[in-house]
Structure 1
Amino acid sequence: MNLRQIETFAAVMRCGTASRAAETLGVTQPAVSRTLAELERSVGFALFARIRNRLVPTPEARLLYQDVEAAFQGIDTIRASAARIRDQGSGELRVASLSALGGSLVPRAIAAFRKAHPAVRVTLLVLSSREVRDLVASGQFDVGLAADEIDVTGVTHQAFLTRDALCAVPVGHPLADRAVVTSADLHGMPFVAYVPEDRSRQRLDSLLAAENVVPEIVVETIYASTLHALVAQGVGVGLISAAAAEGLDGSRVVLRPFAPAVPIRSLLILPSDRPKSEIVRDFIDALMAAR
């Protein structure tokens, strides 16, 4: 028994005659008759009674046809699924992002992506860069955005975004009137810093040490949104990327250029053990456009 024989049998059952089935299949009527004879030998029982040049299905044929129809419905389901995956993707996209981009750039990319893929369900988690890396490396998430201090073992990575840090100061703070805040301005100043393992914090520490500038670090945090909220409360000043500040309430925070420049870099990371799906490729395009 093979698929050609099953398709011929189903065509005869649907069409009622061998000649119509032959037209449907694009073959000759003798070919249909030979294929039916082969199938009957294969299954071991008669499928049709030949009555007055007509093929009349036997009770056994009707029973068999029920299962054939069920099988063809399954094939139709598979075809529909394949078409849906081709046109809309796998139906789910899992994204993890560091805080600095998770409240602004990534939502903007998701909005653009959803216009092209309205049926794809997106999961977005905003986490520490280390947690983002672990979720992507384990294959639990499809795409990650993380700071450049992460261990890139086990992930495919590329540079995503580099922006010079801005100085965030509370409204009414003396530094709010400066056109540019300099490193010297931070000496003795209450300062909200990222944790020591943060790469941009390390760059700032090196710069300040070279200039003998010692700010008063009052709070350390891993999240840009937390740093911004602390500055808004007047706890101190801090450095933040423009991308991170974009999605936050700026009514109580003033952003000023900072010199010398302290770059804040992020990476786009993917699982290293599997190829990118079409929806992942499309989402990466949306991320690149959102930059």
Structure 2
Amino acid sequence: MREPSLRQFEALMAVVEAGSVSRAAERLSISQPAASKLIATLEDDTEMQLFDRASGRLVATEQGMRLYHEANRVFGGVGQLIRAVEAIRRENRGQLRVGVMPGLSGGFIVRAVRAFRERFPDAFISVDTRSSQFLADWMVSGRLDVAILVTRLDHPTISTRPVHSKPMVCLLPIGHPLAAKARITPKDLDGEPFIAFARASLTRNRVDAVFERAGLRPDIRIEAATAPNVCEFVAGGMGVTVVDPLVSEGVKGRVEMRPFDPATSFEFHTSWPSHSRNSKLVSAFVEEVTRAAAISAWEEDSYRL
């Protein structure tokens, strides 16, 4: 028995998966006669009948299917090796695993990543969007190099830096009468249909506290768990809200934005391992996150996004 080639096994797999020699030939980028020859020589070299020929079609025999499964397992291992090579290459040129909460997964993180890539064009970056609780767990378990959270992560192996944003703002549907005002107060919003964050969220607690101090309660018509949903409801004309400006960039051009009085600040937090394997990249990314937070995508004379 002669030793079959990998190309012959590729032809075997292609015929079984494609269902015909012609489609297998297309998959292999070869002619149909060349594909037929590879199958024929594989049968000769293995001294096995791998296909039954019926009505011009090739149907894999039991031996053919057994060999197919073995070939598939081997080629799967080759694929794993290729992925391992790529992972090692990424390690050599640097990689950064970033986690970001949904509310900051828009323009803010784009600005940070773009600036970071300008400094480290060869670095590989993966960005995962999850809730702060998931990101905190992943950070502690070593699955992330940097995480941007809504709460401070207190852990002996984790370093944290606050990310200061602009004061919270009021979002209004386009053409809303309150857009005529330069600034919006809780009294202005009294009786207005209000889009609120979920009850347990920090933003909800912060906004409710501002209204309580004014002796008012927002007329909540809709609650939503994420900032993008809250902002989209406003853009859809279903109410008004008060949010951090960084989380509202996704509705730029589709809402009116006005400063909210009294000025109410909000803090996010950037966390990373105290002893990071990519300390240079991590430090640079944390710097760009801080800069990105200081850049306002909405700060124009009209305050319109």
Q: Is TM-score (shorter-chain normalized) higher than 0.5? A: yes
Distance in structure 2 (CA, Å) of the matches to 1:153 and 1:197: 22
Give CA-to-partner distance per residue, 1:51-103, whole Å, 9 cap, x none.
Answer: xxxxxxxxxxxxxxxxxxxxxxxxxxxxxx99x84xx4xx3211111233221
2:200 aligned with 1:182: no
Distance in structure 2 (CA, Å) of the matches to 1:134 and 1:192: 30
Candidates 207, 211, 215, aligned match of 2:214: 211
Give CA-to-partner distance per residue, 1:13-65, whole Å, 9 cap, x none.
Answer: xxxxxxxxxxxxxxxxxxxxxxxxxxxxxxxxxxxxxxxxxxxxxxxxxxxxx
Q: Identical aligned pairs, as a percentage?
A: 29
The match for 2:233 is: 230
Candidates 104, 107, 112, aligned match of 1:104: 107
Candidates 193, 198, 221, aligned match of 2:196: 193
CA RMSD, aligned part only?
2.3
The match for 1:169 is: 172
Gaps in structure 2 of 5+ consecutive residues:
1-87, 294-305
The match for 2:266 is: 264
Q: What SS does the corresponding residue of 1:168 show, helix, strand or coil?
A: strand
Q: CA shift at 1:273, angstroms?
A: 6.2
Q: CA shift at 1:234, angstroms?
A: 1.2
Give CA-to-partner distance per residue, 1:101-147, whole Å, 9 cap, x none.
Answer: 22122211111211232222211122222222222122111101111
The match for 2:161 is: 158
The match for 1:136 is: 139
Distance in structure 2 (CA, Å) of the matches to 1:177 and 1:156: 44
Trace 1:112-151 onto structure 2 (pairs within 5 A). 112-148=115-151
Q: Is the 8 A contact 1:163 1:265 kept in 2?
A: no
2:276 aligned with 1:278: no
Corresponding residue pairs, total: 204
Q: What letter is aligned with 1:99?
A: P
Q: TM-score under structure 1 normalisation? A: 0.64
Distance in structure 2 (CA, Å) of the matches to 1:281 and 1:238: 35
Q: What SS does the corresponding residue of 1:268 show, helix, strand or coil?
A: strand
Q: Which has the larger radius of gyration?
A: 1
Q: What letter is aligned with 2:113?
A: I
Q: CA shift at 1:153, angstroms?
A: 3.8
Q: What letter is aligned with 1:140?
A: R
Q: What SS does the corresponding residue of 1:185 show, helix, strand or coil?
A: coil
Q: TM-score under structure 2 normalisation? A: 0.61
Q: What SS does the corresponding residue of 1:182 show, helix, strand or coil?
A: coil
Q: CA shift at 1:184, angstroms?
A: 0.9
Q: Is the 8 A contact 1:93 1:142 kept in 2?
A: yes
Bigger drift between 232-241 and 202-211 goes to: 202-211
Distance in structure 2 (CA, Å) of the matches to 1:219 and 1:138: 36
The match for 1:15 is: none
Q: Is the 8 A contact 1:93 1:279 kept in 2?
A: yes
The 1:290–1:151 alpha-carbon spacing in structure 2 relative to 1, beyond 3 Å, is closer
Distance in structure 2 (CA, Å) of the matches to 1:189 and 1:151: 36
Q: CA shift at 1:286, angstroms?
A: 2.2
The 1:173–1:95 alpha-carbon spacing in structure 2 relative to 1, beyond 3 Å, is same
Q: What SS does the corresponding residue of 2:133 show, helix, strand or coil?
A: helix
Q: CA shift at 1:263, angstroms?
A: 1.4
Q: What SS does the corresponding residue of 1:131 show, helix, strand or coil?
A: helix
Q: Is the 8 A contact 1:106 1:287 kept in 2?
A: yes
Distance in structure 1 (CA, Å) of the matches to 2:220 and 2:155: 32
Q: CA shift at 1:181, angstroms?
A: 0.8
Candidates 285, 288, 291, aligned match of 2:290: 288
Q: CA shift at 1:265, angstroms?
A: 1.1
Q: What SS does the corresponding residue of 1:119 show, helix, strand or coil?
A: coil
Gaps in structure 1 of 5+ consecutive residues:
1-80
The match for 1:28 is: none
The match for 1:93 is: 96
The 1:232–1:221 alpha-carbon spacing in structure 2 relative to 1, beyond 3 Å, is same
